[in-house]
Amino acid sequence: MQSHHLRRLLVTEPSLRHTASATAVGRVAHAARLRSVVARLARVEHAPLLVTETRASVRDGLHRERLVLDSPLRGPFPGTLLAPPGVTRGPAVLVLGGRNARLDQLTGDVPPDHPDRNVAEHLARAGFVTLSFDHGIGGGLDEERRAGRDEGTLLAHAFALTGRSLLGALVGDALGALDVLAAHPLVDPGRLGLFGHSLGAAVALHAALLAPREALPLCAASHLGSYQALYARLLTGHEGAALPGILEYADLADLYSALAPAPLQLQYGTADAHLEPADARAAADTVRAAFAAAGAPVEIHELAMGHGTHVGHAANFFARSLAGDAVTACDVPAQRIRFEVSERRAVLDRVDAALASGVLTQGPQVARFEELARTWTGTETVAVASGSAALEIALRIVGVAGRTVLVPVNTFFATAASAVRAGAAVRFVDIEPDGLGMDPDALRAALDRHPDTAVVLPVHIGGIVSPALHAVLAHCHERGVPVVEDAAHAFGATLDGRPAGSFGRFGAFSFFPTKVAVSGDGGLLSAALPDDLEQVRRWRDHGKSAQGSTLRDRPGGNWRLSELHAAVGTVDLERFANTLAARRERAGRYDALLADVPGIRPHAVPDGSDSNFYKYLAHLVPDGALDRTPLKKRLRERHGVSLAGEVYDHLLCDHPYFTRSGRPGRADGPFERARRFARHHIALPLYPSLTEAEQLRVVAALRSELP
């Protein structure tokens, strides 16, 4: 009866399997989707392991360090690092033993009960630094009260109650141990591998799927087959070896397949009582096919062994995959948008609430988004569909049709295009070099030239609200011209303690993914006057003549923000204080690191202005010494460092749209200061998840490529 239930339960066809695509792009997307499912189910929070104790010795020619590792989730547990004699910055393998493996046997500190139990010692003798630790899932609970029940199972149940999993906890520790290994002075952090046997192979597989390093080589022994065979037919599956919920998405072979094209070796024995040879063979075929489709090699050894490891094959695999030029450290991308698992769950809960209620747009999530945003804008806000919608609505409310709007010549196309869509003629103004804002003198000249100016539209470039804004506001005030701030870069930035967006009649913000706060797509208008805010609400909703009315009195649009976007936006705004602090801290670190690097000068944020560091800007000096495009290419190709996009590489007056006849082009030019800035600045990668090691790498790369 029970076996019948078990079999029926486990016949679920993994849903993601069928969406696996034959195209390369499809495969990559599929693997990424599977990794994100694994991350969500494993719920590993990124929290480093602390090494609280180290005792070093040399025995039998191996350097040995006994460590105490402190895990935030599971507390302290012992680990052992082994190193071959004389190694400096050598390749290293994290060795994860099976469920009943004992640390002192893995490392050869006591004689192993099987000749392949001391894998860590074998690999150390083969030339690899190894780190192993005790899983700590047995041997602590009161035997009498356990009444014969398994400790691992009891632990797994407790984890399940908290929405976490035992496997997730083990994987979290393995990822922490990888960081410990990478930071060890004897280890080359670019050459790391993972070995796992049985339960340890399950941990290693999931760690490989979740490790931020690219293409981590994995050798997995005695852990292959279908979940159905392991859990229903053989009853050898262990609760610490699979993620609760995984079968809805993937079987074991799909998880190995998602590692392609990373180096992979699988070993299984035909005399292993924990698996069925035919079932393991079928899983092996699935993995082989996936690697073949990705054009990548995979090593699969079917061996005449029991539930063991062929240590020779493992050592050879790592010798090949961690050879001198292997690099597993990841590149530093221009941009990284990261939501931790708990934040992703919060988004999903809110999306779920929206779907359950049927309110999919302009409901409670949007209201909450507007409320959270208020903390950073200083005035009331109304959410809209995008930053450009925000600009267009503000300009339509002020009324610019048939008149001139003055825009800085150095800004994103959307600033000017929104004015064009609102019916205005756009004219350009040069910038001032300190705060990168509109130059007040150039503005005054432009106002003289264009007495029909309806709006002045300053932009806070890179997240800096320029102190020159005060003079800009004064000129506009004198002539009675309203100011709309394009604060798309500047959410959370301030000038003299006042938030960006609170200086003009309107402040327009964007929550596009590249900006400092994101909602997928989204925008926001801040304004002090209640009537202005009310007008925004009508424009964004097809020009309603009044709340609740079906009559329309203006050509409004669909400029609403959906509840689903607001679900993302609210989660991002709830963490925004941390985002801002993290950006500022990283900017400060770049300032210090770059102080003695010749050929580059960080852009100094003027006194009184508190940037959100949407961009970390620096000038290549002296002007013209170096061409930016080849520099960026060398940084990327030789050092794996991608710079962020400039703000901006082309002036607006040079875009084909504006150089066409009848458009302003360079008419109010020559815009020398903006042109000099556009040509000679770069933007370094800066985001909250950028690590100190990555910043060091960026600066080292610059140092070696600058003249």
Ligand X SMILES: *Cc1c(COP(=O)(O)O)cnc(C)c1O
Check binding of 227 to ligand X (CB under 6 A). no
Find the shortest distance in angstroms from Cβ 459 to ligand X. 5
The yes or no reply on residue 523 touching ligand X (CB under 6 A) is yes
Tell me the closest approach of the beta carbon of residue 525 to ligand X, in angstroms: 12
Instruction: Please give the backbone phi and psi of residue 668, each rounded to the nearest 5 degrees, phi first.
Output: -90, 15
Report, in Å, the least distance between residue 523 CB and ligand X.
5
> Considering beta carbons, is residue 311 or 517 the nearer one to ligand X?
517
The CB-of-164 to ligand X minimum distance in angstroms stands at 36
Please state, in angstroms and rounded to a whole number, the distance separating the CA atoms of residues 368 and 462.
Answer: 27
**E strands along 255-354, which residues?**
264-269, 299-303
Angle, vertex CA 555, rays to CA 554 and CA 556, nearest 5: 95
Q: Choose the stretch contacting ligand X; rule: CB under 6 A; options: 100-108, 318-326, 485-493, 637-645.
A: 485-493
Q: 571: exposed, middle or buried (C-beta count within 10 Å: 0-12, 13-18, 19+)?
A: buried
Range 456-475, binding ligand X (CB under 6 A): 459
Which two three-digit tokens encode residue 268? 């299984």
- Of 223 and 460, CB closest to ligand X: 460
Q: Which is nearer to ligand X, 107 or 411 (CB)?
A: 411
Residues, the chain, total?
707
CB of 534 to ligand X, least distance (A): 22
Least separation in angstroms between residue 508's CB and ligand X is 7
Token readout for 83 is: 């190193």
Contact 405, 454 (CB under 8 A): yes
Shortest distance, CB of residue 442 to ligand X, whole angstroms?
Answer: 18
Q: Estimate the crossing angle of helix 341-357 against helix 563-574, to 10 degrees.
A: 150
Phi, psi of 129 (to 5 degrees): -70, 135
Q: CB of 515: closest distance to ligand X in angstroms?
A: 6
Closer by beta carbon to ligand X, 39 or else 517: 517
Q: Which is nearer to ligand X, 291 or 506 (CB)?
A: 506
How many chain residues touch ligand X (CB under 6 A)?
A: 14
Please report whether residue 485 would count as binding ligand X according to CB under 6 A: no
Contact 678, 651 (CB under 8 A): yes
| CB closer to ligand X out of 105 and 411 | 411
DSSP-derived letter for residue 403 is S
**Backbone φ, ψ for residue 386 (5° rounding):** -165, 170
Q: Which is nearer to ligand X, 309 or 411 (CB)?
A: 411
- Minimum distance between the CB of residue 438 and ligand X, rounded to whole angstroms? 13
- 623 burial via Cβ count (<10 Å: 0-12, 13-18, 19+): exposed
Minimum Å distance from CB 481 to ligand X? 20
The answer to the question of residue 695 lying near ligand X (CB under 6 A) is no
Q: How far is the CB of 241 from ligand X (least distance, A)?
A: 45
Count of beta carbons in the 10 Å neighbourhood of residue 343: 15
Query: Whose Cβ is closer to ligand X: residue 112's or residue 463's?
Result: 463
**Should residue 646 be labelled a site residue for ligand X when binding is judged by CB under 6 A?**
no
Q: How far is the CB of 161 from ligand X (least distance, A)?
A: 42
Residue 638 and residue 633: Cα distance in Å, rounded? 8
**How large is the C-alpha radius of gyration of the chain?**
30
How far is 581 from 301, CA to CA, in rounded Å?
A: 50
Name the residue nearer to ligand X (CB basis): 513 or 670.
513
Of 430 and 486, CB closest to ligand X: 486
The distance of closest approach from Cβ of residue 50 to ligand X in the complex, given in angstroms and rounded to an integer, is 41
CB of residue 348 vs ligand X: minimum separation in angstroms? 24
Phi, psi (degrees; rounded to nearest 5) at 312: -60, -50
Question: Could you say which residues in the range 539-558 bind ligand X, by CB under 6 A?
Answer: none
Using CB under 6 A as the binding rule, the residues of this chain from 353 to 392 that contact ligand X are 386-388
- DSSP secondary structure of 226-258: -HIIIIIIS----TTSS-TTGGGT--HHHHHHT
User: Which residue lies nearer to ligand X by CB, 244 or 520?
Assistant: 520
Residue type for 273, please? A
C-beta of 262 vs 516, nearer to ligand X: 516
3-state secondary structure of 97: coil
Residue closest to ligand X, measured at CB: 387
Neighbours of 452 (CB within 10 A): 10
Cβ pair 37, 275 in contact under 8 A: no
Contacting ligand X within 402-441 (CB under 6 A): 411-412, 414-415
Given candidates 512, 590, 613, 658, which one binds ligand X under the rule CB under 6 A? 512
Instruction: Tell me the CA distances in angstroms from 244 to 157, 255, 623, one per residue in order.
Output: 11, 14, 58
Nearest distance, CB of residue 462 and ligand X, angstroms: 10
Question: 227 vs 509, which CB is nearer to ligand X?
Answer: 509
- Smallest distance from the beta carbon of 385 to ligand X, in angstroms? 8
Strand stretches in 154-211, DSSP E = 187-197
Strand, helix or coil at 11?
coil
Distance CA 41, CA 600 (A): 45
Element (H, E) at 284: helix 277-293
- 490 in helix, strand or coil? coil
Which residue, 489 or 603, is less far from ligand X as judged by CB? Answer: 489
Smallest distance from the beta carbon of 389 to ligand X, in angstroms?
7
Minimum distance from residue 647 beta carbon to ligand X (Å): 8
Q: Which is nearer to ligand X, 67 or 459 (CB)?
A: 459
Out of 132, 228, 309, 510, point to the residue binding ligand X (CB under 6 A).
510
- Return the number of the residue (79 or 387) whose C-beta is nearest ligand X: 387
DSSP state of 501: T
Cα first-last separation, the chain: 77
Write the single-letter amino acid at 215. A
Site for ligand X in 27-46 (CB under 6 A): none
> Among residues 288 and 421, whose Cβ is nearest to ligand X?
421
In this chain, which of 264, 287, 472, 488 binds ligand X, going by CB under 6 A?
488
- Comparing CB distances to ligand X, the nearer of 459 and 674 is 459
Gap between the Cα atoms of 504 and 526, Å rounded: 9
Q: Residue 684: how many CB atoms within 10 A of its CB?
A: 25
Amino acid letter, residue 237: G
Q: For the chain, how many helices (H) and strands (E)?
A: 25, 22
User: Which residues are CB-neighbours of 105 under 8 A, at least 6 positions away?
Assistant: 111, 112, 113, 117, 118
Alpha-carbon distance 496 to 102, whole Å? 61
Residues that bind ligand X (CB under 6 A): 386-388, 411-412, 414-415, 459, 486, 488-489, 510, 512, 523
